[in-house]
Amino acid sequence: MKPSRRDDLIRAALDLFYKYGYNATGIERILATAGVAKPTLYRHFKSKDELILAALQRWDEDSRAWLRSEMEKRGHTPRERLLALYDVLGEWFATQGFQGCMFINAAVEFSEHDNPIHQAAASHKRRFAAYVRDLVAAAGAERPGEVTERLMIVMEGAIVTAHTKGAADAAYQARRLAEMILADSLDRSKTRARAVASA
């Protein structure tokens, strides 16, 4: 099926926003890249902010599906899949043109918490965290909410470190921390289960 003009605009916007930022990318540049006239743009989107939201929604769906797929390819158990997340991040950090996370970048550029673009970025993080929490719970960790929060902080820290410092080993270091977080939680869970069984 031939992509629609709306899809052309979203794809062009995603690429440009990632490379150059949201505020620095003007409408004219998006139109030129997409090969779309201004009246066509405004038939689909009332404003640049609305286009940004549509681009983030598309990338939310695509990036979460990609991450889940890659984690599931690399790991058979919940624990293996959780640790595989950091292997996937490492491969992403090594790609040419890596410019950090589109959602972190959006939250920084639109920093007010009540801004719809900031809220869209935060929603993406919550959705992915829910998937991670399911894996943490399936792995048998104690207090899966707390463990998930720690793993997500490690993940976000690795992304920011890789972006700001060009640190190629950020994902490797993050994986080591994730291993310790999971080992601590799973060991406590096993200890408690043994205590209950022997009581």
Q: What is the largest distance, in Å, between two alpha-carbon atoms of the chain?
A: 74
What is the reported pLDDT for 155?
98
pTM to 2 decimal places: 0.89
11-44 pLDDT, tens digit per residue, is 999 999 999 999 999 999 999 999 999 999 999 9
Local confidence band at 186 (pLDDT 50, 70, 90 cut-offs) = confident
Cα(111)–Cα(105) distance, rounded to whole angstroms? 10
Task: Give the pLDDT of residue 142.
Answer: 86
Domains and CATH numbers, the chain: 1-45 (1.10.10.60), 58-198 (1.10.357.10)
- Can you tell me the distance from the alpha carbon of 15 to that of 33, in angstroms, rounded to the nearest whole number? 10
Say whether pLDDT at 192 is over 70. no
Q: What is the mean pLDDT of residues 59-82?
A: 96
Report DSSP state, residue 115: S
Calculate the CA dihedral of residues 143, 148, 154, 158 and round it to 10 degrees: 170
Helix, strand, or coil here: 134?
Answer: helix
